[in-house]
Chains A and B, each alone.
Chain A
Amino acid sequence: MEIIKLAWRNIWRNKRRTIITASSLMFAVIFGVVMRSMQLGTYDRMIDSAVRQYSGFIQVQDSSYWKDKTIDDLMPDSMALRQRIAKLDGVIDVLPRLESFALISSGNKTKGAFFMGIDPFFDDEMTQISHKVVQGRFIKKDDDGVLLSQRLAAFVNVNVGDTIVLLSQGYHAVTAADVFPVRGIVKIPNPKLDKSLIVGSLKKVQEFYGAEGMLTSMVVNIKSRNDIDKVLPEVRKIIDSGSLVALSWTDMNKELKQQIESDNVSGQIMLAILYVVIFFGILGTIIMMTAERRKEFGVMVALGMHRYYLALIVFVETILLGLVGAVTGEIVSLGIVAYYYTSPIKIGGEMKDIYEQFGLEPVLAFSKDFGIFMNQFYIVLALLFVAVLYSIVKIFGFKIIDALHS
């Protein structure tokens, strides 16, 4: 206790030095936390828009579907199988889906689109697509009509209540052609999907493709992304491994995963460079402090203070200094992250186009994962520990005579 009191008084003897050191630590924490939070938050957002709002984290498919994704490699729908998977621990529900390509036509506008048949209730539980309806209404079970994504609807120039023509090749090369009324328009965050998605009820889409009772996939809606490694083997146990496969989102979104991994590494390198700069900043102030207090140390030791006790006080001083800097840094960055978490930065101008070309939502989102805050805290303190070794070595090494004369 005595030591802490002494150390606390010591650091405030030279206010300016303390404030400079503490604020350099504070900025290190702020930079680290904000940068990491933005990166991880943006990854979460990317995964969310590509996976949770669309493909799901686990899918069961016909074993030959994934390779060519043709409408001929379908799996039979089975209520029994869906229920068995839904009963697994960590699984919320199982979503039946049938999806393929179709030409959409209205007036003299025609475009290639992606036609997805869903069970409106189960799908909405996971994707919350009904919240994205900006015009008209969400589809009902076995609805005759369809939902169009916003930019697709704008391209073919249709509104709610209009009728569109869809044309495609169905199951076993049957001609798929029909007209559908537009029930609603949905705004999808993922720009690629927003330009091409048509959503219909499973029953109607099966009829359209001549694939009654067939599915392209069963999407397994799980409670948390972290449960995948636990749930996936269980799903694999249940399904007939001869004709069906269970894929995880990383199998289905290899590009996204690689994109995130490479971006993450570059982020970590940036952070490492930042830490090197900060480390030398800290080391500089500690060398300065040790040099300034050389005479003081000499006097203390000359008066009979043990060198290890002196070293201990300097060590505690440094820790206190670190805590002051890091804690203020945490508080400030918590404020920044909390603000941007609720209102993410929207990217505009040319960068927006670049993001959209990559099929990404032009938004920098933030993560409020507690681990990010703790990690920066630990790293900054660790840097401090390494830097303080300099003054400890000096304390044990100096000659009293030289120190008193300096």
Chain B
Amino acid sequence: MKRYNIILIITSILIAGLFIQQKANLTATEIIVKANDLRYGETSEGSMDMTLVRPTWKRSISMKMWTKGTDYSMVLITAPAKEKGQVFMKRKTEMWNWIPKISRMIKLPPSAMSQGWMGSDYTNDDMMNEGSLVKKFNHKILRIEKFEDMDCYVIESVPKEDDDVIWGKKVSWISKNDFFTLKTESYDEDMYLVKTEIASEIKIFAGKRLPSKFEIIPEDNSGNKTVVVLREIVFDKPINESFFSQQNMKRIR
């Protein structure tokens, strides 16, 4: 009987230990999921400004963005006047572009996914497929290091086999306390660094602390970068799936 008790105690300690262990050390995938949930929530609705910075000129675009999970997103351009009313929509794997001036709905071909979105350093893939980091990659914690005075997990994400991902790998710096994705490096298939995304200026949006400024710096064109500044964002406001439809693209304001 005594012996049985001892076994029971040891087992409970082991199980408890295991539990505590897991509580303290999240797996890489869990960290990525948490960071993604923080950034997009169940649904999100926000507005932002994007500035293209080039060696000799810069230009700003304002837009509204709606997302639901990782499958649905919609972007409406609100300024400048020449591009106002243009809508981009992602439904699962399809991406559509509505241009009111020519009344045309354009389906972006898979080959266009690696091209710049609206002439920026964001690719169409970045803009519309952000959530796919969760689903389409395998993750691994490389190390823990300080970035901008915050302890960060450094996570390497390698695409799963047979998945249509344009990257060779991504390396993310995700803060330990808040799960902010502070820096992401994207590498091509030959493992050359293509671009770096840096998030900064943490602000409070609808009670949630978030980085509000995102910079994309491409590797091959020095002097080029794209800066996105979040003006406002609300999370988890119910949005119906039918919101992300071609009919709605033409109606949305």
Contacts and interface: CB of A to CB of B under 8 A. Distances in A.
A179 B102 contact: yes
Interface string A88-125: 00000000000000000100000000000000000000
B237 interface: no
Contacts of A251: none
B83 A174 contact: yes
Interface stretch (B52-60, B68-76, B160-168): B52-60
Contact of A165 (B59, B80, B102, B120): B102
A210 B80 CA distance: 11
A209 to B, nearest CB: 10
Contact of A72 (B57, B80, B83): B57
A4 B162 CA distance: 96
A174 B59 contact: yes
Contacts of B120: 173
Interface residues of A, number: 13
Nearest to A178: B101
Interface in B28-78: 52, 54, 56-57, 59
A72 B54 contact: yes
A165 B105 CA distance: 12
A179 B57 CA distance: 28
A61 B118 CA distance: 26
B99 A169 contact: no
B82 A173 contact: no
Contacts of B59: 172-174
A175 B99 contact: yes
Interface residues of B, number: 18
A287 interface: no
B3 interface: no
A115 to B, nearest CB: 14
A363 interface: no
B86 A172 contact: no
B99 A174 contact: no
Contacts of A105: 104
A173 B52 contact: yes
Closest 7 CB pairs of A and B: A173-B119, A172-B59, A177-B99, A165-B102, A177-B102, A175-B83, A177-B101
8 contacts: A72-B54, A105-B104, A173-B119, A174-B83, A175-B86, A175-B118, A177-B99, A177-B101
Given A72-B56, A172-B54, A173-B119, 14 more contacts: A72-B57, A105-B104, A165-B102, A167-B99, A167-B106, A172-B52, A174-B80, A174-B82, A175-B82, A175-B83, A177-B101, A177-B102, A178-B101, A178-B102
